[in-house]
C-alpha cells in the first residue's frame, strides 16, 4: 500500500484511473461469462474477486488518497466490484440450474425397468426332510438329540453289542481315524442311543436323532461314503413291539398320508432283540403295480412295498451297557436312511444329485421353513 499523501489525484494512481478500473471490471465480467462449469467459476472468483484480485488491490490504494479524492475513487472501485459480484452470483445461479437439470436427466431412475434379481436359494431337501421327520416325533413328545460325527469306537460298536470281532468293524466299512486310539467316523446314528441313555439319570428316554454317517463306500448312483440317517429310541416301563409298530404307523401316516399299511419282517441286528425290517405299502401305486404289467411302478419297482429301515426292541445288553436296568425298563429303536427316503419320496434317480450342491436340484423343492 502506498504511503499516505495529501496532494495527488486518484486518476494519477495507475490502478485507480477510471479506464483502468473499467478494464479490470470488463476483464472480470468476460472471465465470468466464459466460465462454463462451477469449478471454473470458482477459479474466476478467486482471480477477479478474491483478496489478491486487481480490483481488491486497487481498493487498497484508496486508503492512501487524500480525503477529497477518496469518495470518488471509492465509488468507482465499489461499483466495479459490485458489478463483478453480481455477475458472479448470476453466473453461479445459472450454472447450478444447468447442473441440476443435467443431474435430473443423468441420474434418472426408471422404476418400471426390470431389476437384476438375486436368485433366492432354497433349503436343501434333505434338511427339510430331516426337520419334518423330527417334527413328527417332537409332536409326540420326543426330543431331538445329536451326537458327534467323530465317535468313540466303544459307543459306535461295543456298547451296541457289536464286539471286537464284529464284521462291521473291519476296514471295509469303517473309516478309522489315523493316529488316534479307538476313534472312528460313526457308521450309523445308533451311538446317539447310548449317549442319550447315559445322559439321562433314569428313563424315560424318547429321542429322535438325525445325523450324518460315514462308510467306506464308493460314490455311485445308489451309494455314498457320507449319507444321512435318523435314529429313534424310546425307553420306558412296559414298552412293547406294539408301541414300536404304532409309532412307525404314525410316522408313515404323517410323512406319506393315510391308509398305507406297514409290516415288520424278522431280521437281525446286534443291538435289538427281536429285530425287524420295516416296510410300508408303496405310496405311489398303493400295491396296484404288483403282478400288473400294464401299470408298472418306478417307486417300488412294482413290488408293492418300500423298505424303510431296521428296528426292534432294544437288546437288554445294550440297556445294561448304557446303565439302564433291563429288568425294569424296555425300549424300542428304529433307524433308517433319509437319503434313500428322499430318493423314493421325490423320484430322485441318482444319489449324487443330493450331494453335489447344484441349485438346479435344490430349487425345485422350493422354500420350506
Ligand atoms: N444302525 C443300523 C444301521 O445303520 C440301523 C438300525 C437298525 C438302527 C435297527 C436301529 C435299529 O435303531 O433298531 O444299519
Which atom of ligand 1 is nearest the CA belonging to 314?
13
- Cell, residue 337: 436312511
User: Which pLDDT score, from 0 to 100, does residue 331 have?
Assistant: 98
Q: Whose CA is nearest to atom 14 of ligand 1?
A: 188
Domain boundaries in the chain? 14-106, 125-365
- Cell, residue 190: 445308533
User: Which pLDDT score, from 0 to 100, does residue 368 have?
Assistant: 59
Which atom of ligand 1 is nearest the CA belonging to 334?
12
Report how far residue 269's alpha carbon sits from residue 275's, in angstroms, rounded to the nearest whole number. Answer: 6
Length of the chain, in residues: 369
**Residue position matching grid coordinates 495527488:** 8
Instruction: Render each residue's pLDDT in the chain as its tens digit; 369 residues.
Output: 555 555 566 666 777 888 899 999 999 999 999 999 999 999 999 999 999 999 998 888 888 888 878 888 889 899 999 999 999 999 999 999 999 999 999 999 888 988 877 777 788 999 999 999 999 999 999 999 999 999 999 999 999 999 988 887 877 789 999 888 799 999 999 999 999 999 999 999 999 999 999 999 999 999 999 999 999 999 999 999 999 999 999 999 999 999 999 999 999 999 999 999 999 999 999 999 999 999 999 999 999 999 999 999 999 999 999 999 999 999 999 999 999 999 999 989 999 999 988 888 888 877 654
CA of 311 to the centre of ligand 1 (A): 6
CA of 14 to the centre of ligand 1 (A): 110
User: Which pLDDT score, from 0 to 100, does residue 227 have?
Assistant: 96
Q: Which residues line ligand 1 (CB under 6 A)?
A: 188, 190, 231, 269, 272, 310-312, 333-335
CA of 270 to the centre of ligand 1 (A): 9
125-365 belongs to CATH 3.30.2310.20: no
pTM: 0.70
Cα-based distances in Å from 183 to 148, 157, 196, 282: 11, 11, 19, 39
User: Which pLDDT score, from 0 to 100, does residue 9 have?
Assistant: 64
Q: Which of the listed residues 169, 188, 196, 330 should we mutate to test ligand 1's pocket, taking the one with most ligand atoms within 8 A of CB?
A: 188
User: Which pLDDT score, from 0 to 100, does residue 1 have?
Assistant: 52
Report how far residue 361's alpha carbon sits from residue 369's, in angstroms, rounded to the nearest whole number. Answer: 18
Strands 205-214 and 143-144: parallel
User: Which pLDDT score, from 0 to 100, does residue 361 have?
Assistant: 86
Residue burial 194-219, b: 16+ Cβ < 10 Å; e: rest: bbbbeeeeebebbbbbbbebbbeeee
Radius of gyration of the chain (CA): 45
Amino acid at each position: 500500500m502506498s504511503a499516505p499523501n495529501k496532494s495527488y489525484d486518484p486518476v494519477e494512481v495507475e490502478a485507480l484511473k477510471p479506464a483502468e478500473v473499467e478494464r479490470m471490471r470488463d476483464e472480470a465480467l468476460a472471465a465470468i461469462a466464459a466460465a462454463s462449469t462451477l469449478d471454473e467459476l470458482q477459479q474466476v472468483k478467486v482471480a477477479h474477486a478474491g483478496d489478491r484480485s486487481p480490483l481488491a488491490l486497487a481498493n487498497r490504494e484508496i486508503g492512501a488518497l487524500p480525503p477529497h479524492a477518496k469518495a470518488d475513487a471509492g465509488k468507482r472501485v465499489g461499483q466495479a466490484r459490485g458489478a463483478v459480484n453480481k455477475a458472479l452470483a448470476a453466473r453461479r445461479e445459472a450454472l447450478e440450474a444447468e447442473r441440476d437439470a443435467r443431474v435430473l436427466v443423468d441420474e434418472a431412475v426408471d422404476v418400471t425397468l426390470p431389476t437384476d434379481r438375486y436368485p433366492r436359494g432354497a433349503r436343501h431337501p434333505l434338511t427339510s426332510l430331516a426337520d419334518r421327520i423330527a417334527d413328527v416325533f417332537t409332536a409326540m413328545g420326543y426330543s431331538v438329540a445329536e451326537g458327534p460325527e467323530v465317535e468313540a469306537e466303544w459307543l459306535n460298536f461295543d456298547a451296541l453289542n457289536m464286539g471286537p470281532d464284529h464284521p462291521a468293524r473291519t476296514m471295509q466299512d469303517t473309516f478309522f481315524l489315523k493316529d488316534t486310539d479307538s476313534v472312528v467316523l460313526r457308521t450309523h446314528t445308533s451311538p446317539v442311543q447310548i449317549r442319550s441313555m447315559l445322559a439321562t439319570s433314569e428313563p424315560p428316554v424318547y429321542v429322535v436323532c438325525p445325523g450324518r454317517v460315514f462308510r467306506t463306500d464308493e460314490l455311485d448312483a445308489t451309494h455314498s461314503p457320507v449319507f444321512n440317517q435318523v435314529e429313534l429310541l424310546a425307553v420306558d416301563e412296559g414298552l412293547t413291539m406294539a408301541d414300536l409298530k404304532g409309532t412307525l404307523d404314525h410316522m408313515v401316516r404323517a410323512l406319506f398320508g393315510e391308509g398305507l399299511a406297514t409290516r415288520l419282517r424278522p431280521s437281525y441286528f446286534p443291538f435289538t432283540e427281536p429285530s425287524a425290517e420295516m416296510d410300508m405299502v408303496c405310496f405311489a401305486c398303493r400295491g396296484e403295480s404288483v403282478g400288473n404289467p400294464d401299470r408298472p411302478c418306478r417307486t417300488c419297482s412294482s413290488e408293492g412295498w418300500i423298505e424303510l429301515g431296521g428296528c426292534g426292541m432294544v437288546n437288554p445288553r445294550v440297556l445294561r451297557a448304557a446303565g439302564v436296568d433291563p429288568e425294569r425298563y424296555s425300549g424300542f429303536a428304529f433307524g433308517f436312511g433319509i437319503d434313500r427316503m428322499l430318493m423314493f419320496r421325490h423320484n430322485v434317480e441318482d444319489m449324487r444329485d443330493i450331494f453335489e450342491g447344484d441349485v438346479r436340484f435344490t430349487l425345485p423343492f422350493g422354500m420350506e421353513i
